[in-house]
Amino acid sequence: MSRFFAASESESESESSEGEDIPVVKPVAGKVAQAFTFSDDEEDTKRVVRSAKDKRYEEIRNIIKQLKNHKKIKDMSNVLSDFEDLGRAYDKAKKVVEKEGIPRFYLRALVELEDFVSECWEDREARKQLSKNNAKSLTTLRQKLKKYNRDFEQGISDYRENPDQDEEEEGSDDEERDSDEEEEDDDDDKDENDTQMIADFIKKPPPSKPNVSKFLKDGDEDSGDESDWGDESDESSELSSDDEKYGGNLALKFLKKTTEQEKAKKDAKKKEVKERKQTKKVDKAQDEDEGEWEQVKGGAPMIAEKPKMFGKDVEINHKVVCMKLIEIVAARGKKGTDRNEQINMLIELNSIASENNLGPAMEAKIMFNIAAALFDYNPNIATCMRAEMWERCIEFVLELLNLLITNKEISVGEDITEESEQLEVAPYLVRGCILTVVERMDEEFTKMLQGCDAHSTEYVERLRDEKKVCDIIDRLVVYLEGRSSNEELCRAYLKKIQHLYYKYEPVSPEGQKNSEEVMETLCRFIHTKDQTDRIRTNAILCQIYHHAIHDRWYQARDLMMMSHLQDTIHHSDVPLQILYNRAMVQLGLCAFRQGMIKDAHHCLVDIQSGGRAKELLAQGLLLQRQHERTPEQEKIEKRRQMPYHMHINLELLECVYLVSAMLMEIPYMAAHEFDARRRMISKNFHHVMRVSERNPLVGPPESMREHIVAASKAMKVGDWKACRDYAINEKMNKKVWDLFQNTAETCEMIVSKIQEESLRTYLFTYSSVYDSLSMDNMAEMFELPKATVHSIISKMIINEELMASLDEPTQTVVMHRTEPTRLQSLALQLAEKVATLVENNERIMEQKMGSFFTYQKQGGYQRQGDDRCQNWGQQGGFQGRGDRQNRGGAGGYQQYGRGDRNQNREGGRQGYQGNRGGQGGYQGNRDRQQNRGQRRDQRQY
């Protein structure tokens, strides 16, 4: 309020008359303030001075309030941002906290947030329903909160032990709020005082004349007093009349007065409010008489009463049922349609049709629509059905298939139009495709398995339905045989193959065909009748997979080689490439079980070399470093994932690959120890070995990789027993080897391979030390048959891997000592590197000099540069670069090399001035100087 109106109440009272008590009406603060508000007053704002503690704590309280609101709606992303803001606000208030201590309301917020996060994390079903952003935020919040609360462990534990002290804190908060309210009341009192000052200023009379009676004589005092009193009485009478009229507040004289119309409006509003209250009371009384409210479920609108399908007097016939069916199906996909109610109405319509004996064709038509409605119940194609809907779906598909099998006069097909349907008289024609329905059901079954937790009982319960699915597919094949086209039969056979190819069958049950015969029959039909390459390729890969898991190595290998899929598979779609990768992995495992170590390594190297075996086999998603997947890409890749019961053990796969690489790489490393250009057979194996060598302290092996590395180091020094103990033991058996069908046979094969490769490694490493070796001692040392030792050493001698000869009478191996020693090997390496360096330098020099072309008079052509100086003359000839041999006559094709700089074909000059070619060739530096001199003389002349 402006200071212009400020005046003291005591001065106005002293100047008023002593005999009259003028009543002062307290004016309304708001109206007076509005009446006397100027532009300068509007700019003046009320300033409140607060301490740093109040500011910081108020900021923290506001964030906690937002956090509580976001927790109520479970908005995890905003909860995470609020938590981060709360931490930043607490950091700002650290100075206050150091003086006052950690505020209890802050600990309470942390405890409540921790309980909220743990509750959300334990609720797995709700977690699955969260969006990707909220799920990611929940995981991040859980980790950050756990790390953040470590600094407040003592305070949080004290708060959890005694949370009742929270009431005291609330009491202190209430005191602070009361103090704030008191401050507001004081501000209101100040406003009232300001208005009172305004009223006093209005009541205050104009300043009276100065009292000069002191300076007058006695006679004049009376007259002066009388004149003064007379003036004051007149002025006071005028002021008193105004005060009595406006209640002591002259500001009301200038305010806008309320008219009668406004009073009438206010009275009308009051009447309306009273009438509303009375109607509400009446409604409540009626509701109490009628009963309680019914709780309505959220989601799609529920129909209170089930609509009747047909009237009482309506005749039920084909036409009426078809019209009703069209009416129900027309609501499919519309907004607000209750899908569950639509399914129930179709089921009721089907029962009505069967009660009125409208024929099997009508039932089949309705059941096709029921199956479609069941598949459309879940609007999101990326998620699976609910369990109860899946069970109903299986029942209706099986019932529909049985109906079509029993009534052979019904013909169904996609090419049948609705106008050409025949539903009343046999032969019946119905629009629909049972094969498409079964394929869609199989896709939903795969999605059901993908949506379940692989380690839960729910997955086992869903997996039990596979028997029902296989029975439906078998009945479908029986139905389609003899009445469908080859294309549909190929699709049906492929569905049967896809549920059969990955199952291991040690012994076929009595009275049934072997799985190998069934696969052979189905795949042969597809190979001959299929017109599309995709179905045939699927069948081939499934057959290869089935052969491989049953240890039929040669059949699987021949089928893979004859199909030439390795040349064209990269042009196929992604699911087909995944199946190819799975078939190749099983082919490699089969080769390993059969002892084909090289073949096993070649089959597995492409899958294991990139470190993406999990993703290539569709058994999970890996994080991509270069770029992130979009949500659409992630959904598509999740739909491609294999169900858990079809997975291949990745640890087994890696172990087989590393063992194969060890059996091939260690002997090769021993044979080419001093070879500078030694190539790597397995980069992944070398990487694993390098990582283990970098470790400063190597303890006993624990993981599978560490066991293989330790076995490799033992084989490197020829200790086959230690290698065997590291590769095959109880821990490795539990992790890896017990996963094979024939564990004992596989372990025996591995031990024999370790013995053989250890013998080869020993011979490569220590052959330079021995003059001769006894084969009997070798057989005894490596516990191998003598014939096996003889064959191994013979192969090494034939392949020139070992420079030795066999002495049959004494059964010894005589070393020829042709292999270089370590010093000689290093010298050879140095010589090769120096020769390579010299050759590279020469090439660089010749590139810098450029190329020169000259043409001879006799038809020759010359070129020098890039290591090629050629002269093509009339007479043919060739001079080599490396061997420096002269072939041909004069002026032929000549080429010089390093170390042959002083050649001259025509008996010309020495040094690097050779005559390359016939008479008009390049004559070197001296000829050039002579030619320059001649040209200079000609110019002077």
For residue 325, pLDDT beyond 60? yes
Instruction: Give the pLDDT confidence score for residue 540 in this predicted structure.
Output: 95
**C-alpha dihedral, 73 to 74 to 80 to 85, nearest 10°:** 20
Q: Average pLDDT of 728-732? A: 90
Domain spans, the chain: 52-160, 499-619, 649-769
Q: Which candidate, 861, 850, 849, places its Cα nearest to that of 921?
A: 861
- By C-alpha distance, which of 868, 925, 858 is closest to 894? 868
For the stretch 50-67, pLDDT in tens is: 788 888 889 999 999 999
**Token couple for 48:** 């409140």
Per the structure block, which two tokens stand in for 615?
């993703």
- 19-35: per-residue pLDDT in tens? 444 444 444 444 434 44
Q: Using the 8-state DSSP alphabet, how is residue 294 labeled?
A: P
Q: Round to the nearest angstrom and report the end-to-end CA distance of the chain.
A: 116
CA distances to 836, 837, 838, 867, 897 from 848, rounded to whole Å, are 19, 17, 16, 12, 17
Half-sphere exposure of 486 (CA within 13 A, CB side): 11
The rounded distance, in Å, linking the Cα atoms of 744 and 738 is 9
How many C-beta atoms lie closer than 10 Å to residue 693's C-beta?
10
- E strand or H helix that includes residue 780: helix 775-782
CA dihedral 402, 407, 413, 415 (to 10 degrees): -160
Inter-axis angle of helices 574-593 and 553-563, nearest 10? 140
**Distances in whole angstroms, Cα of residue 886 to Cα of each of 859, 865, 867, 872, 903:** 21, 21, 18, 15, 10
pLDDT, tens only, 453-504: 888 899 999 999 999 999 999 999 999 988 888 899 999 999 999 999 999 9
- Among 564-568, 625-629, 764-768, 922-926, whose mean pLDDT is lowest? 922-926
pLDDT digits (tens, 9 = 90+) for 221-269: 444 444 444 444 444 444 445 555 555 555 555 555 556 667 777 777 7
Listed in sequence order, the residues at least 6 apart from 336 whose beta carbon sits closer than 8 Å to its beta carbon are 300, 301
- Distance of alpha carbon 458 from alpha carbon 451, whole angstroms: 10
Residue 509's pLDDT band (boundaries 50, 70, 90)?
low
Q: Which long-range contacts (CB under 8 A, 24 or more apart) does 228-236 make?
A: 232/205, 232/208, 235/205, 235/206, 236/16, 236/17, 236/20, 236/205
Q: Is the pLDDT of residue 703 over 80?
A: yes
With bands split at pLDDT 50, 70 and 90, how would you rate the model's confidence at 4?
A: very low
Read off φ and ψ for residue 231, nearest 5 degrees.
Answer: -65, -45
- Paired with 431 in beta bridges are 413
CB < 8 Å & 24+ apart, contacts of 375-378: 375/440, 375/444, 376/332, 376/333, 376/339, 377/339, 377/340, 377/343
Q: What percent of the chain stands above pLDDT 70?
A: 70
pTM for the full model? 0.59
pLDDT, tens digit, 9 for 90 and up, residues 587-615: 999 999 999 999 999 999 999 888 889 99
10 Å Cβ neighbour count for 507?
6
Query: Helices in 104-165 by DSSP H: which ranges?
Result: 104-122, 124-129, 132-148, 153-161
Q: Look up residue 422 and give its DSSP letter.
A: B
340-387 residue pLDDT tens: 888 989 999 989 988 888 889 999 999 999 999 998 888 777 788 888
Asked if residue 666 lies in contact with residue 597, where contact means CB atoms within 8 angstroms, the answer is no
Peptide bond just before 103 cis, omega within 30 deg = no
CA–CA distance, 688 with 665 (Å, rounded to integer)? 13
Question: pLDDT tens across 133-178, in order?
Answer: 888 899 999 989 988 988 888 888 888 888 855 444 444 454 444 4
Alpha helices in 331-385 (DSSP H): 339-355, 360-375
The pLDDT tens digits of the residues spanning 402-419 come to 999 998 899 998 888 888
Look at residues 327, 333, 360 and name the one whose alpha carbon lies nearest to residue 346: 327
What SS3 state is found at 785?
Answer: coil
